[in-house]
Structures are given as C-alpha cells and as structure tokens.
Amino acid sequence: SAVISQKPSRDICQRGTSLTIQCQVDSQVTMMFWYRQQPGQSLTLIATANQGSEATYESGFVIDKFPISRPNLTFSTLTVSNMSPEDSSIYLCSVDLMVEAFFGQGTRLTVV
C-alpha cells in the first residue's frame, strides 16, 4: 500500500492569488496524478507528473494555470494560479501501485 500526505487540507484564498499543494508519498513511484473533484461531481484528471520530465496535462488543463513540480520520486506539488471562484474544488493527489490507486486526503480549496 501507499500512504500519501497532502497539505494543506483546506484553504480559503482570495481571487487572483495562487496556492501550492504538496503531496508526499511514503514510497518511490514513477507517476503521480493530480485530480480535481468539483462539488457533487466525479474526479477529473488534471495531469500526470513524472519525475524528471514535464507533466502531461489532460484536455482542458494547461501548465500556466496548473504548474506542477516533481523534483523526486516521492514528492510533487500542484499550483493553482490566478485563482477564481470557479477553481473552488477538492484537489487530490494519487499514485498507482499495481492496479490499485491510492489517494491523499485532498485539499479543499475555496476561492472568495
């Protein structure tokens, strides 16, 4: 199994500012995934973060808005830039071990 520590667990931010979310895994993993879960909706994959290369973004998500770092095999950050109220959501970090996905506790972001 994998234990994922994600922080902050929640934050309230002013529009126009940026927030960086950190994700720490207790084992080395090749890929880390960042998801968004908007209120009452399912999970949407934002991007896949690989160590040593640029993240791969899904359709509708761009690096300027959601820059990602992956400095080593156990850590990643996701920044939500120039925030607007539409960015209010839960952001989740995830890793795969074999076929199973493990998730952090999530970051509940409210933009006011």
- Which residues here bind another protein, judged by CB under 8 A? 41-43, 45, 92, 96, 99-106
Name 25's bridge partners: 4
Strand, coil or helix: 15 = coil
CB of 74 to another protein, least distance (A): 18
Q: For tokens 């973004």, name the residue.
A: 57
CB of 95 to another protein, least distance (A): 12
Torsion sign, CA atoms 70, 22, 104, 55:
negative
Decide whether 42 or 53 has the Cβ nearer to another protein.
42
Q: How far is CA 7 from the centre of its chain?
A: 10
CB of 42 to another protein, least distance (A): 5
Decide whether 14 or 42 has the Cβ nearer to another protein.
42
Decide whether 51 or 81 has the Cβ nearer to another protein.
51
Query: From the CB of residue 25, how many other CB atoms can be counted at a distance below 10 Å?
Result: 22
